[in-house]
Amino acid sequence: MSDVYRVSQDWARHAHVDAEKYAALYDAAASDPTGFWLDQAQRLDWIVPPTVADQSSFDEADFGVRWFADGRLNVAANCLDRHLASRGNDVALIWEPDAPEEEPKRFTYLELFQHVCRFANVLKAEGVAKGDRVTIYMPMIPEAAFAVLACARIGAIHSVVFGGFSPDALAGRIEDCDSRLVVTADCGRRGGKTIPLKANVDAAAERAPSLKRVIVVKATGADVPMTGRDVWYHEAAAQVSADCPAEPMDAEDPLFILYTSGSTGKPKGVLHSSGGYLLWASLTHHWCFDYRPGDVWWCAADIGWVTGHSYILYGPLANGATTLMYEGLPNWPDASRIWQVVDRHKVHTIFTAPTALRALMKEGDAFVAKTDRSSLKLLGTVGEPINPEAWRWYNDVVGEGRCPIVDTWWQTETGGAMIAPMPGATDLKPGSATKPLPGVHPQLVDETGKVLDGAVSGNLCITRSWPGQMRTVWGDHARFFQTYFTTYPGKYFTGDGCRRDEDGYYWITGRVDDVINVSGHRMGTAEVESALVLHAKVAEAAVVGMPHDVKGQGIYAYVTLNAGEAASEELRAELRQWVRTEIGPIATPDAIQFAPGLPKTRSGKIMRRILRKIAEGDVSSLGDTSTLADPSVVDDLVANRVG
Ligand code: 6R9
């Protein structure tokens, strides 16, 4: 039996949603979905309010995801303009620099609005128009937020690429969506280190012929060579006015593309809409985190990931929140840093990943205890299953038992939280994301697609659309259908395994496909394999996940060398570096095992099940190896396991 943490009376009394309202929301969503969603949609400011809600279908014949299709709005106006009259002088964005001795910056809603309008005019002056794709490759500085919201203001589609990705990975993403323009900075800073963003863009440009213009924000003042393709942001900004009307958009017009790893092929450009996405980001921020004006909200993600999109920018700003953006790392200069930032800005809610908590937990409680943290009232987590030990540490040591833990399960594809508690209404169980939010319809199925009822484990599907659902894979609608709707026809398949307990609580057990979750970041095993086989000495590679104390999962690579090549420690180091350069540091293999052969079926399919077991060190239960073309390769793999 797992522990149950009851909602405190204090929370239940003061929350936006208490147990009674929670039940009413569920009933309304179930009994009259159209009325429910049109009603919820009123939390946005529409130029033309929608009269239709869900028009989606998961069936092949009339497949598509569509919400609020006759509504018109502008996302940036919802995040900025509509707050000006009531809270123009309230702080919208707090920026905390990498180095603790530097001064933070604060922007009121009015100031943020002015910066965004000016940035939007710079983009327009460069010829960017509605529907054009703009790639944003930035450090965590305020200008990253300006650039994102500027795109939304003029109806350009932003594609934010995480600043830790390599020039190659960046080039692939620029080309895939045919971006003409990249916004970057001279350099970025993180944990005292410098990241050569502009130099990376220059390298990417050689492989990305669509790229014609680079807007460079002066962030660190590093000396970077400028070419005819480049313009300094501050110079361009001085030439334009700060007055920029917001472009009216259809609810279904695209807002952004965000590349994410899948089980096959190159990363997919997940496309999100304007109306449905913004509603979901805003509503889930309101429901799950019980935000109220004056609270300081801190989502400690990077804007290069969906969590940063939905919960640093769109959700909180749509709700008129004060959102904190932090340039650095949670544990630099030391493991107190994250809590010192909480104290410095009197943060009410912090939303972070289990991997960060595990890393901090390892350093000992003293780093936490010496900080005050009395401003905290809620603690959130996202990105991967949280182990009960980390959950309890977060609850007992960080929150001192005062702060509910809101564990949110969701995906880049879902736009916002899907299975998560509401702090005034949901009892908590450490390690469970609890229950689906109103209007979310999860279902567990077995391998054959049979629906499983009651307390059971299975593969997690969602049977009906929700407003924040992705609309397509950029440039490949067939791949969207194929990836998510064909494994279990008529349902959206999440790729996650999940257990439902006797109380109807959901416990995500992790990916059941060839995606691994490294420090809360998704990495496709196929991507790492493609990078490895590009190396001249590598014949074949197979990559699987392995358990890792801090990262949750680590990357374990089996590598077969070309005939005549010898395995060595130098080559191992070279291959690790190779993958870092090809994809980025987050893809660096934790273990590389040189193998004379890989376990394959007679039809040539690699038996990953066996490779996973060996990487996990679970060699006593390799299961049936009789279908292997050459069962003896397994003996060698077991004997030479790394770690
Ligand atoms: C938001 C985000 C999605 C994958 C998802 C699942 C895992 C996310 C989780 C969780 C257990 C949670 N995941 N949140 N697993 N509990 N609270 O992380 O998006 O980067 O697309 O990753 O992350 O496996 O399928 P994304």
Phi and psi at residue 551, to the nearest 5° = -80, -10
Q: What's the CA-to-centroid distance between 228 and ligand 1, angstroms? A: 41
Nearest by Cα to 459 from 445, 449, 479, 471:
445
pLDDT digits (tens, 9 = 90+) for 198-234: 999 999 999 999 999 999 999 999 999 999 999 999 9
pLDDT digits (tens, 9 = 90+) for 129-174: 999 999 999 999 999 999 999 999 999 999 999 999 999 999 999 9
What mean pLDDT value characterizes the chain? 95
Report residues whose beta carbon is within 6 angstroms of any ligand 1 atom. Answer: 260, 305-307, 382-385, 407-412, 433, 494-496, 508, 510-511, 517, 522
Residue 499 and residue 333 in contact, taking contact as beta carbons nearer than 8 Å: no
Decide which of 266 and 536 is more confident. Answer: 536
CA separation for the pair 453, 451 (Å, rounded): 7
Identify the residue whose C-alpha is closest to ligand 1 atom 4.
411
Alpha carbon separation from 296 to 90, 174, 232, 334, 375 (Å, rounded)? 11, 35, 32, 23, 9
The pLDDT, as a whole number, for residue 269 is: 98
Which of 517, 518, 519, 551 is the best mutation target for the ligand 1 pocket, counting ligand atoms within 8 Å of the beta carbon and taking the most? 517
**Beta strands in 490-585, from DSSP E residues, in sequence order:** 492-500, 506-511, 515-518, 521-524, 538-548, 552-561
Mean pLDDT to the nearest integer, 472-498: 97
pLDDT over 70 for what percent of the chain? 100
The pLDDT, as a whole number, for residue 301 is: 96
Residue 2's pLDDT band (cuts 50, 70, 90):
low
Cα–Cα–Cα angle for 567, 573, 579, rounded to 5 degrees: 105
Q: What's the CA-to-centroid distance between 512 and ligand 1, angstroms? A: 12
Closest atom of ligand 1 relative to the 495 alpha carbon: 25
pLDDT digits (tens, 9 = 90+) for 50-66: 999 999 999 999 999 99
CA separation for the pair 3, 268 (Å, rounded): 39
Q: What's the CA-to-centroid distance between 354 and ligand 1, angstroms? A: 11
525 torsion bin: left (phi>0), alpha (psi -120 to 50), beta (else): alpha
Q: Which token pair is 640?
A: 């030479």
Phi and psi at residue 52, to the nearest 5° = -120, 150
The pLDDT, as a whole number, for residue 630 is: 84
Closest atom of ligand 1 relative to the 408 alpha carbon: 17
Residue 506's pLDDT band (cuts 50, 70, 90):
very high
Identify the residue whose C-alpha is closest to ligand 1 atom 12.
409
Q: Is pLDDT above 60 for 1?
A: no
The pLDDT, as a whole number, for residue 626 is: 73
Identify the residue whose C-alpha is closest to ligand 1 atom 17.
409
Residue 302 and residue 295 in contact, taking contact as beta carbons nearer than 8 Å: no
Residue 325's pLDDT band (cuts 50, 70, 90):
very high
Q: What's the CA-to-centroid distance between 162 and ligand 1, angstroms? A: 17
The pLDDT, as a whole number, for residue 263 is: 75
Model ipTM value = 0.99
Residue 53 and residue 34 in contact, taking contact as beta carbons nearer than 8 Å: yes
Q: What's the CA-to-centroid distance between 147 and ligand 1, angstroms? A: 26
The pLDDT, as a whole number, for residue 446 is: 97
CA separation for the pair 526, 521 (Å, rounded): 15
The pLDDT, as a whole number, for residue 620 is: 83
Which of 289, 387, 410, 469 is the best mutation target for the ligand 1 pocket, counting ligand atoms within 8 Å of the beta carbon and taking the most? 410
Q: What's the CA-to-centroid distance between 260 and ligand 1, angstroms? A: 12
The pLDDT, as a whole number, for residue 279 is: 99
pLDDT over 90 for what percent of the chain? 90
Identify the residue whose C-alpha is closest to ligand 1 atom 1.
411
Mean pLDDT to the nearest integer, 508-529: 91
